[in-house]
Amino acid sequence: MSDEHGPEPARNESEQSEVHRGLSRRGFLASAAAAGGAYFLGRFGPASAQTPTISEDDIVVPDDPTKTLGMSLSQRGLRSPFVHVQRQINDPNAPLGAAGWTFSPLQDLEGTITPADLHFERHHSGVAMIDPAEHRLVVHGMVQQPKQYTLWDLERMPQESHIYFVECSGNSLAGYPGGDADSTAQSIHGLVSTSEWVGVPMRHIVEDVGLDPASTWALFEGSDAAVMTRSVPVEKLMEDALIALYQNGEPIRPAQGYPMRLILPGWEGNMQIKWLRRIEFGDAPFYTKEETRHYTDRLPDGRSRQFTYAMEAKSVITRPSPGQGLAGAGRWTISGIAWSGRGRIERVEVSTDGGSTWEDAALLGESRTRSTVRFHHPWEWDGEEAMLMSRATDDTGYVQPTREALLEVRGPDYTYHYNGIQSWRLHPDGTLSNGYVDA
């Protein structure tokens, strides 16, 4: 990850110590018997011959990779032992471990696609494990012909491919009550991920069952232990909803709803029911727990907004951000992501002086509707304290608001849909912290 604009960000000491140099962990044990050393282990050693799937324990880092045969072919790939990327678990109902969330490591990722195993998680009753042969999607209610579909039925229907983000509506909520000095891009904003989703547009299902034109809402229900339910307006289903079967080229993983999940581009993640088993069409919302007790927005006057769906435009600088650091003054690239649930990101601006002046950042690659776009901004750091911010504008003309403006309107009890500008305070020693906490 060398950076043409300057030295590498400071690295965590512990990263190096876990890497096995010369011998793998498994190889070390084997070598006592084989007396062959590292040379044999990758290609001929007992570990790789018996287990074509290579594990982290097999990894060997030779002093000179041009003088040692590399590791063997394998059925599934591994990350480099020098790359440490993992989700951060938040288990509010510990020790249950099944109702909570994991944050995606935003500061360690580049581009826009989130590797499927690093996609954020938000489960209410754990990850359902489903045998597709036993699974049916049942569609009924205000339809001419109630039907049930297997995974293989859906495979035979016309499909589409789209790159969309999914964001938990509670993402970034740390911004409401005031930040935490230890918080990072991951622990504040890591409940957003972007994938290529391939699946059947809902409008094909709607046609297949013959929807009653008087139907305006549908209940979507998951086959997990929460039997999660949300009501979705038919209007959205006809516009761009997908029953997704594939994520980033492979069948959706269990944590994301295998064998099938709902994708509602740009809308809050909770509605995008995973492990989908049932769709019931009706003419009113179903007022499930997740659209009454939760996922409603409490206002200062005591009232609560209900059915607030779109995730509005947001951006965050992921590099540099807290936990990383700049090794010294000089040229750096400020990198981040921006997204909007209402359309396409048109513009991202970056400020390094706490919002006094702004400059346009470069958007990398195509900016797609209801997807993330990567921005980069080259910057010369003078070594003084700086306040780094980014601000997104989408193609509806909406500009990401400041935190102050957001709190002014929404007050202290609003929990969801936070999209205020994030600021990172860069200290003269090169470390960073949340800009909303007094230095």
Report 22-41 residues binding ligand HEC (CB under 6 A): none
Task: Based on the shown chain and the rule CB under 8 A, indicate whether residue 124 belongs to the binding site for another protein.
Answer: yes
Out of 229, 272, 369, 423, point to the residue binding another protein (CB under 8 A): 229
Query: Rounded CA gap, 64 and 67, in Å?
Result: 6
Tell me the CB-side half-sphere exposure of residue 138, using CA atoms within 13 A: 10
Which listed option, ligand HEC, another protein, none, makes contact with residue 213 (CB within 5 to 8 Å by class)? Answer: none
- Tell me whether residue 109 or residue 139 sits nearer to another protein (CB atom): 139
**Gyration radius (Cα) of the chain, Å:** 24
Complete DSSP assignment for 320-347: S-BTBB--SSEEEEEEEEEE-TTS-EEE
Exposure string over 244-256, b if 16+ CB within 10 A, otherwise e? bbbbbeebbeebb
Q: Which two tokens stand for residue 181?
A: 């000095």
What size, in residues, is the chain?
Answer: 439
Task: Based on the shown chain and the rule CB under 8 A, indicate whether residue 75 belongs to the binding site for another protein.
Answer: yes
Task: Based on the shown chain and the rule CB under 8 A, indicate whether residue 132 belongs to the binding site for another protein.
Answer: yes
> Which of the stretches 6-14, 324-332, 379-387, 401-409 binds another protein when contact is defined by CB under 8 A?
401-409
Which of positions 82-121 make contact with another protein (CB under 8 A)?
93-96, 98-99
- Tell me whether residue 191 or residue 219 sits nearer to another protein (CB atom): 219
Which of positions 332-391 make contact with another protein (CB under 8 A)?
none
Query: Rounded CA gap, 350 and 362, in Å?
Result: 10
- Tell me whether residue 122 or residue 370 sits nearer to ligand HEC (CB atom): 122
Residues 6+ apart with CB under 8 A from 71: 42, 43, 48, 54, 58, 59, 60
Q: Shortest approach of another protein to residue 374 CB, angstroms?
A: 25
Task: Based on the shown chain and the rule CB under 8 A, indicate whether residue 287 belongs to the binding site for another protein.
Answer: yes
Task: Based on the shown chain and the rule CB under 8 A, indicate whether residue 221 belongs to the binding site for another protein.
Answer: yes
- Tell me whether residue 21 or residue 289 sits nearer to ligand HEC (CB atom): 289
Task: Please count the residues of this chain forming the interface with another protein, following the rule CB under 8 A.
Answer: 82
Complete DSSP assignment for 13-36: HHHHHTS-BSS-HHHHHHHHHH--
Q: Shortest approach of another protein to residue 135 CB, angstroms?
A: 10
- Tell me whether residue 114 or residue 270 sits nearer to ligand HEC (CB atom): 270
Which of positions 166-225 make contact with ligand HEC (CB under 6 A)?
none
Which of positions 229-268 make contact with ligand HEC (CB under 6 A)?
none
Task: Based on the shown chain and the rule CB under 6 A, indicate whether residue 293 belongs to the binding site for ligand HEC.
Answer: yes
Which of positions 111-140 make contact with ligand HEC (CB under 6 A)?
124
Residues 6+ apart with CB under 8 A from 187: 88, 103, 174, 180
Rounded (10°) CA dihedral 172, 173, 178, 179: -40
Q: Give the footprint of ligand HEC on this chain (CB under 6 A).
A: 93, 96, 99, 124, 293
